[in-house]
Chains A and B, each alone.
Chain A
Amino acid sequence: MSKIRTWSRSSVSFLAVTIALCAVTHGQGQGVAPETITSLKSADWIERARGVRTVAGLAGSGVSDAVLGELLGTLERELRIVEDSFRRGIGVSNELGEEYGDYLAELQSLIRKNGDLTDNRVLRMVAFGVYNPDSPFVAELVNRAGDGLTPLALEMADSDLAGRRWNGLALLGRLYEQREALGISAAAVTQIRGTLYRAAQDDAPPTRSWAVIAIGAGRSRQDAAFLRQIAESDPAFREHEAKGTVSPVREAALEALEAIDRSGR
């Protein structure tokens, strides 16, 4: 029978010690080792991602306030990187790789799950994060944060960053839709409606379109005349090989009008 060497005794000992150390560390708070906190502060995003994944792996029973504070700091840093790259016309997925977005999503998810949205810093970071305007997260955020989100959404709707602006409009649309359930004041509703109306007349067709969708979400007959005007006059169009000339903002306005009609409000 031939000799087979599988692993050395020292390797096994090393592993046993390592696992034992892990157990000890895991028993302390959320088990986040100092090295993980150091990773979160690294200049290298790959290292920061490693730190976030380590925390995520331990976060089943929650994240301590101290660790959450570190995660928020990390997210603030990432959002600055995203903004900076976007303003330079590059985009982080071009600059750092599409995997950066996966890391960012994991970090945001960790904070969304563990953060207290009554804390304004947490709410701001979560709202200002990266997501699509029609993501289920928009409704989830409004449902969780309620009227407290209105000032942030109004601020976002005036952002010079297109993505943030669209997300702000989407949040306003959801707030507008939920205005009664959330007990939003008449003054705040007027402010929301005014912001959406302004955005619906923006120079950029995508902004106009998101604003129109948000107005439609309100299901208010008060908005019908304005939407009808857009449905008849918005100047954006493009050619479609099968449909001919299509006008996406007008189409969005027509859909919004139909939704208002269906709602019977």
Chain B
Amino acid sequence: MDAWSDQEYTMLHTIAVWVDNSWGCSHWDYSGVLFVNGPNSGYTSGPGLGLGLSLPNYGGGNYDIEVGFQFYCDCVQGYVPFGDWTQAQLQPQCGDERGSIIEEYSSRGVDLQPSCSDFTTSASSTYFQPHEYNKNGYHQWYIARGSLLSGADTVRSNYGSALIVNGSYRCPDKQCDIRCASIGGGRHMHGDAMDFNSYHDTPTWWAIRNAANTVSGRCIEPLDLSSNSHVHVDFRPSCPW
């Protein structure tokens, strides 16, 4: 996995965009690009070896900047502190609870950096209501991608009788409360996954699975992994199963 470059690039991009446009934080301007580039090519782009970050301060006063970022190399994972900007300060501000949810994604190292517009309080579909897309949610805001909204309905329609949702969206804090050690990916945090209850019954699991199997773009977790407790369906870009 190219674990380091995406996240770092996204974070820096966020600095550039949000500092300038949304935070209105006129003290800071961002110029240049942070390069983490070594002899093992393929991870980053940019000239030469080394780090470069320019943060001109137009606001006056003295500032101690410590920007922390993680980097991975082929043989080392390290944390290089050279700043004091916390992840929270790097997040877009949505003017409501979404800001803190977005902060969860950063602070828990999720491989997704959602924007304010990714969240909803009301997304639903023909067969499934907001409380099912955000089952036992920690926040009123949740992510429910269009592929999931239409896909879940097609599963339900193909199945031909009621389906109980075990879970769908999970914010990173909720995901962490379930199982924190492995947090990082997880389609439930991406808002494109749903678990349907199959009641520990293999024929039921199989019937739901067959109902999901005709849905375009679906990714169904094999029985070996989920057992017959639930059918996990998501709409990730590329299904490994």
Using a CB–CB cutoff of 8 Å, the interface residues on chain A facing chain B are: 1-8, 11-12, 14-16, 18-23, 25-26, 31, 33, 35-36, 45-46, 50, 53-54, 56-58, 60, 82-83, 85-86, 89-94, 96-102, 104-106, 108-109, 130-132, 134-135, 161-164, 166, 204-206, 209, 236, 238-243, 246, 248
Contacts and interface: CB of A to CB of B under 8 A. Distances in A.
Interface of B: 1-3, 38-40, 42, 49-51, 53-57, 59-65, 71, 73-78, 80-83, 157, 159-161, 178-179, 181-188, 193, 200, 202-203, 206-207, 210, 213, 220-227, 229, 232, 240-241
B74 A238 contact: no
Nearest to B200: A89
Contacts of B183: 97, 99
Contacts of B161: 239-241
Given A46-B181, A90-B227, A105-B240, A132 B222 contact: yes
Given A92-B224, A163-B222, 20 more contacts: A1-B57, A11-B82, A18-B78, A20-B39, A22-B74, A22-B75, A23-B38, A31-B75, A50-B77, A89-B200, A92-B225, A94-B227, A98-B188, A102-B185, A131-B222, A135-B241, A206-B203, A238-B207, A241-B161, A242-B160
Given A97-B186, A101-B221, A54 B226 contact: no
Contacts of B82: 6-8, 11
Given A92-B225, A106-B1, A239-B161, A4 B65 contact: yes
B114 to A, nearest CB: 18
Contacts of B188: 98
6 contacts: A2-B63, A6-B65, A21-B76, A91-B227, A94-B229, A130-B225
A135 B218 CA distance: 12
* From B42, B60, B62, B222, residue with most partner A Cβ within 10 Å: B222
A241 B159 CA distance: 9
Contacts of A102: 185, 240
B50 A12 contact: yes
The 10 closest A-B pairs by CB, nearest first: A91-B227, A240-B160, A7-B82, A105-B240, A19-B38, A163-B224, A97-B182, A206-B206, A23-B39, A99-B182
Contacts of A239: 160-161
A19 B73 contact: yes
Contacts of B83: 6-7
Given A2-B63, A99-B183, A93 B74 contact: no
Contacts of A1: 57
* From A7, A23, A166, A239, residue with most partner B Cβ within 10 Å: A7
Contacts of A21: 75-76
A14 to B, nearest CB: 7
A76 to B, nearest CB: 15
Contacts of A20: 39
B74 A94 contact: no
Contacts of A54: 74-75
Contacts of B182: 45-46, 96-97, 99-100
B213 A134 contact: yes
B63 A85 contact: no
A4 B185 CA distance: 36
B203 A99 contact: no
A105 B183 CA distance: 16
Contacts of A4: 55-57, 63, 65
A16 B55 contact: no
B202 A162 contact: yes
* From B71, B213, B220, B225, residue with most partner A Cβ within 10 Å: B225
Contacts of B40: 22-23, 26, 31
A206 B223 CA distance: 12
A93 B39 contact: no
Contact of B80 (A14, A104, A130): A14
A132 B80 contact: no
A77 to B, nearest CB: 15
Contact of B39 (A26, A82, A135): A26
A19 B223 CA distance: 43
A205 to B, nearest CB: 5
A66 B213 CA distance: 39
* From A22, A98, A209, A241, residue with most partner B Cβ within 10 Å: A98
Given A2-B63, A7-B82, A240-B161, A96 B39 contact: no
